[in-house]
Structure 1
Amino acid sequence: MSKEQKKRISRDGFNNLLGIFKYMWPYKASFIIGLILLIVSSSIFMVFPYVSGKLIDLASGDQDWFIDNIGTAALVLLGVLFFQSVVSFFRVVLFARVTENAMASIRVELYERLMALPITFFDKNRAGDLISRISNDVSILQNTFSTTLAELIRQFIILITGVGLIFYLTPALSVFMLATFPVIILVAIFFGRFIRKLSKQTQEELAAANVIVEETVQSIHAVKSYTSELFEIARYGKSMNQVVKTALRVANWRGAFISFIIFMLFGGIVAIMWYGAKLVQSGEMTVGDLLQFILYTTFIGASIAGLGDLFGQVARAVGAAERILEIQDETPEWEEKAAESTDLKGDISFESIEFTYPTRPEVQVLNSISLKIKKGQKAALVGHSGAGKSTIVQLLMKFYPLDKGKISIGGKSIADLDVQSLRSHIGIVPQEVILFGGTIEENIKYGKPEATHQEVVEAARKANALDFIEQFPESFETTVGERGIKLSGGQRQRIAIARAVLKDPDILILDEATSSLDAESEHLVQQALNELMKGRTTIIIAHRLATIRSVDQIYVLDQGKIVESGTHEELLAQQDGAYKSFIELQLQD
């Protein structure tokens, strides 16, 4: 990467961090008051070294100050500390209020944007990495805006005020001290850039490690089935070792920076004390003036030493802001101006469709696909795995943009329809049913959240699910477990069918809905599907003969093309036909 690129990325990254402030705007009053309190408390605290020096001068008999009593001077010091403590309390509370609300807004908006993004985005990004952005990266920003930002401002106030006061009060010693500043500042700038780069690398490697955890937890049955626990443990351990290695490298460089700063500062303080002692000895300054200078110098030195670590934390926040705003900058699939549809009960037409997946542009998945499914018909898509059957369904639901061609329903191009309106009229019963970790009723109502309990019961009855649901002690309030793990395959399928019944879609898609079931479960599920398909335009993806023989039209796909179409009897009558070969092969199995 060139220097120009680094500068541009650094500047853009900082602008991204500033962009996070828009989430604090609704709470600007609290933030501004907190900022004022921060400035006031930090400024008042700088009186402490001055009063401390005067206290020593009073003890030494030098009474050129408006307070001539040691006790009164001590009370002034305690008053300064008490005032600063009270102000700091309110400042911390106000900043916490602003930050907690702002970070909650970021998380909600980030989640909203994730939900609005197209399938292509999720094809390109791993789930663990996305979860890391909404959790770890926002937490980094939360820490930065609640603690680091305030500390950074405080240290700058101490640094600037302290330098101004020592030049005003003790100019001779100040010039002597100034010799160490340029070196420290240059080193701080260099280390800040270097640590920022390493910190972002640590975040990315931690996100990669989280991806492994996400994948293994989601696919725990596969991991257990293949006895891959040790392999996954080793894979995660290797990833975490890389995280630790990079994090320790960051810590080493940060430690080296802080050690250098400490040596430079305290070495400078020793030199200043030596030179100040000579000035006291010669009568050019008082002991109180020397104490003032040493305290101010200590405050300034501590501020500079802290700035290196604070800049490192800000650098991590810049990286987090970049990763968060990358998602915010993605284009959602919810079109604002697309037309909504009250119903989609017309013929479904695919005209000369060509398609390649955005993540695999070199593979032609569909090639000049044209088909028509009349309103109320049942059509089956048949073919070997990878022929393009599921892709046709995904395109109908606008999961992906077409390369060429047109899909229309009732004469309306789906390209002109609002994506949510379109999908609200389509129901799907997939092969792999995904249930959410709530109750059975909550899962059925997922297709229609406003449904009444009686509607849910009726949908379950039509789906042949009522009998087994009522056998549970808690009936519809039974918790299904994560991804429906407490239910059998057939039970999950019937819950999915009940969900589709309740949604009452115009178009129904059955994607291998009975292929993984035993004979008894398949019989019950098929009865429920027959009830569900009545009066609806239905697209069936299936291999089993029992499922496809009774449909109105069968389309046979091979390598992304429709090679045959017709009824079951018509296709069987074709000698050496693809469908006939497909059925004969199945009967042999």
Structure 2
Amino acid sequence: MARFKENDLPKAKLNKDTLNKSLLIFRYAGNHKWKFYVGLLFLLMTGATALAFPKLMGMLVDCVNAKDLAKAKNIALLLMGILFLQSFFSFFRLSLFVNFTENTLANIRLALYSNLIKLPMSFFSQKRVGELNSRISSDISQIQDTLTSTIAEFLRQFILIIGGVIFLATISPKLTLMMLSIVPVVAVAAVIFGRFIRKYSKKVQDQVAESQVIVEETLQGISNVKAFANEWYEIARYEGKISEVVKQAIKGGKYRGYFASFIIFCLFGAIVAVVWYGVNLCISGEIKGVGELISFVLYSTFIGASFGGIAELYAQIQKAVGATERVFELLDETPEKINTSKIQSKEKIKGNVAFHNVAFSYPSRKEIQVLKDVSFTAGYGQKIAIVGPSGAGKSTISSLLLRFYDIEKGTILIDDKDIYEYDLEHLRGNMSIVPQDVILFGGSIRENIAYGKPDATDEEITMAAKQANALDFITGFPEKFDTLVGERGIKLSGGQRQRIAIARALLKNPSILILDEATSSLDSESEKLVQEALEILMEGRTSIIIAHRLSTIRNADTILVLDKGVISEKGTHKELLKMENGIYKNLSNLQFSDF
């Protein structure tokens, strides 16, 4: 799969609106703004000293005709002084811009991540993780490069062009007009041609990448290749692709040859033409001496190089403005109100849950009503199981209970208070969920269990692991609780991950527990251990159990059968089995041979 590159970032048109949006970056500079302005001052001084260099070089050459060794020595010392000042100014300009940029971007990164992590689930259900990662990595990197060097270099080139033209006009207006009609045009043409060459080279690289995909796929599926005796087919496929690479590369080589010829003949030819015309003016007396001609050639070179570079720098600034717009789009998203509730009390929730005529559709699929007029109650300490076919809305109930989404109609009460009267931190702090696919963070087992209570002691973590039937396998590892679980917990088995999640939930000590198909993907042995741990976890808590395996919910106080967004059946395991042609009875008959 092709990786997203910073060079592929889209550009934004530079206008008043986009520039005003980009200037919002300075909001995040804090007390570091002065570094940017002082850096600009050093930049102006760098440009001024650069413009003095060709003039002094011309004066130094004129000392040959005057045979004035003392003057030549003074000018040479002055030139060395100019170079020292330019180095001094450049150092501070770069240091200040880097300091300003890194501090500003650190604030933007923190603000962006803080806002991103507080956004509601409705936002994440409509965005891809890769796109959000790109905003934080590629877009921020583009802004970083632009603030650190691109803006400074763009302004420097601009100063050299304007200052250079002014100095040239003082030497010879005629020669200046001639130079401006040739050198900048050729320089810009070289940039456009060079950009075309780069795009063509990228095509060749893409073709090579495609050929590598064939190699990768073939080697990964080598058993299939050999089983179907398709070695010759794969060789032919690869040969076809590398033939295309060769054709494109040869064509690209020709274009690079044209480019080299263009540079040698046109760009250097333009310089020769300017020097030739300058020599004529020098001979006719319109230019005072060889020194002025040397200065003119150097200024012309500066201007030509600046014209060539400024186009690319402008394109980079356009990308940075586009990146800034995309970053501020995320910063402008409205986060969840995590702790601004009407209820200020932090008393522990008891755990009485009631759904009254709840209706809900996902924001991304508003035309499909997932829940329709759902009502049920779950008293403190009760086990309420929810079963039904896939897509019936079982997991949606847990999402609404955690307030991942807002309901469209009806009310959800917890301890006889509307769920929206609690602040999110307090509400979710009294709930725990053990999902089917447990995703652990890439740290140690200790850190993952302590995620339920970050200030937990070692004794509390050990006790939670023991109650979750996890202590035996944890102590079996050489590093014990300091064992790294790997990315997303990949180093642990499914059953081990589930028991870590249960230990985490136990440590949190929630009032309301949500088990979302917590044992459906486990083998029999792991399921037994996990089920034992879940029984301990459910003691003295209100438990909402979403299940496919009916064997795990036989002892539930109430079983709700959800079908097409409505509760079609309700009762205990025995009561539901007595319903003729009931959905639960049919599901039970499929899973249990003894009924």
Is TM-score (shorter-chain normalized) higher than 0.5? yes
Q: TM-score, normalised by structure 1?
A: 0.82
- Give 1:522 deviation, angstroms: 2.1
Cross-structure match for 2:579 = 574
1:465 maps to amino acid: A
2:75 maps to amino acid: A
Cross-structure match for 2:314 = 311
* Structure 2 Cα separation of the partners of residues 554 and 253 of structure 1: 73
* Structure 1 Cα separation of the partners of residues 451 and 256 of structure 2: 51
Runs of 5+ consecutive residues of structure 1 not aligned to the other structure: 1-5, 214-222, 229-251
2:337 maps to amino acid: W
Cross-structure match for 1:284 = 286
* Structure 1 Cα separation of the partners of residues 261 and 426 of structure 2: 62
1:162 maps to amino acid: G
Asked whether the equivalents of residues 191 and 257 of structure 1 are also in contact (C-alpha less than 8 Å), the reply is no
* Structure 1 Cα separation of the partners of residues 451 and 157 of structure 2: 53
Secondary structure (helix, strand or coil) at the match of 1:562 reads strand
Cross-structure match for 2:370 = 365
Any idea what the Cα deviations from partners look like across 1:190-228, whole Å, max 9, x if unmatched?
Answer: 979xx9xx99xx9xxx9xx9xxx9xxxxxxxxx99x999
- Give 1:53 deviation, angstroms: 1.1
Change (3 A) 1:541 1:45: same
- Give 1:269 deviation, angstroms: 3.8
* Structure 2 Cα separation of the partners of residues 183 and 383 of structure 1: 72
Any idea what the Cα deviations from partners look like across 1:130-149, whole Å, max 9, x if unmatched?
Answer: 22221122112211111211
Cross-structure match for 1:103 = 105
Cross-structure match for 2:324 = 321
Any idea what the Cα deviations from partners look like across 1:566-585, whole Å, max 9, x if unmatched?
Answer: 22222222222222222122
Deviation larger for 43-52 or 118-127: 118-127
* Structure 2 Cα separation of the partners of residues 267 and 555 of structure 1: 86
- Give 1:183 deviation, angstroms: 6.4
Asked whether the equivalents of residues 257 and 308 of structure 1 are also in contact (C-alpha less than 8 Å), the reply is no
Cross-structure match for 2:303 = 300
Cross-structure match for 1:245 = none
1:7-18 alignment runs, 5 A limit: 11-18=16-23
Identity, % of aligned pairs?
A: 52
- Give 1:15 deviation, angstroms: 3.5
Match of 1:23 among 19, 22, 28: 28
Asked whether the equivalents of residues 376 and 536 of structure 1 are also in contact (C-alpha less than 8 Å), the reply is yes
Secondary structure (helix, strand or coil) at the match of 1:376 reads coil
Any idea what the Cα deviations from partners look like across 1:479-519, whole Å, max 9, x if unmatched?
Answer: 22222222222221111111000001111001111222233
Deviation larger for 46-55 or 134-143: 134-143
Change (3 A) 1:474 1:186: closer
1:298 maps to amino acid: T
* Structure 1 Cα separation of the partners of residues 179 and 263 of structure 2: 14
Any idea what the Cα deviations from partners look like across 1:210-264, whole Å, max 9, x if unmatched?
Answer: xxx9xxxxxxxxx99x999xxxxxxxxxxxxxxxxxxxxxxx9999999999987
- Give 1:9 deviation, angstroms: 8.0
1:35 maps to amino acid: L
Secondary structure (helix, strand or coil) at the match of 1:84 reads helix
1:161 maps to amino acid: G
Any idea what the Cα deviations from partners look like across 1:316-347, whole Å, max 9, x if unmatched?
Answer: 22232232222222221235633355232242
Asked whether the equivalents of residues 31 and 94 of structure 1 are also in contact (C-alpha less than 8 Å), the reply is yes
Asked whether the equivalents of residues 351 and 512 of structure 2 are also in contact (C-alpha less than 8 Å), the reply is no
1:455-534 alignment runs, 5 A limit: 455-534=460-539
Asked whether the equivalents of residues 164 and 299 of structure 2 are also in contact (C-alpha less than 8 Å), the reply is yes
Deviation larger for 325-334 or 173-182: 173-182
- The yes-or-no answer on 1:400 pairing with 2:405 is yes
* Structure 2 Cα separation of the partners of residues 144 and 260 of structure 1: 30
* Structure 2 Cα separation of the partners of residues 335 and 258 of structure 1: 61
Any idea what the Cα deviations from partners look like across 1:359-410, whole Å, max 9, x if unmatched?
Answer: 2223221111111112221111011111110011111111112222221212
- Give 1:308 deviation, angstroms: 0.9
Change (3 A) 1:456 1:561: same
* Structure 2 Cα separation of the partners of residues 269 and 127 of structure 1: 52
Change (3 A) 1:191 1:121: farther
1:69-108 alignment runs, 5 A limit: 69-108=71-110
1:16 maps to amino acid: K
Change (3 A) 1:346 1:496: closer
Asked whether the equivalents of residues 184 and 303 of structure 2 are also in contact (C-alpha less than 8 Å), the reply is no
Asked whether the equivalents of residues 389 and 563 of structure 2 are also in contact (C-alpha less than 8 Å), the reply is yes
Change (3 A) 1:499 1:335: closer
Secondary structure (helix, strand or coil) at the match of 2:369 reads coil
- Give 1:472 deviation, angstroms: 2.0
Match of 1:382 among 380, 383, 387: 387
2:133 maps to amino acid: I
Asked whether the equivalents of residues 261 and 305 of structure 1 are also in contact (C-alpha less than 8 Å), the reply is no
Secondary structure (helix, strand or coil) at the match of 2:592 reads helix
> How many residue pairs are counted as aligned between the two chains?
537
Change (3 A) 1:185 1:410: farther
Secondary structure (helix, strand or coil) at the match of 2:556 reads coil
Change (3 A) 1:392 1:183: same
- Give 1:10 deviation, angstroms: 5.5
Deviation larger for 573-582 or 261-270: 261-270
Cross-structure match for 2:4 = none
Match of 2:334 among 331, 334, 341: 331
- The yes-or-no answer on 1:585 pairing with 2:590 is yes
Any idea what the Cα deviations from partners look like across 1:521-555, whole Å, max 9, x if unmatched?
Answer: 22222221111111111101113333212111111
* Structure 2 Cα separation of the partners of residues 227 and 143 of structure 1: 47
* Structure 2 Cα separation of the partners of residues 452 and 339 of structure 1: 33
* Structure 1 Cα separation of the partners of residues 188 and 19 of structure 2: 20
Cross-structure match for 2:229 = none
Deviation larger for 470-479 or 425-434: 470-479
Q: TM-score, normalised by structure 2?
A: 0.82
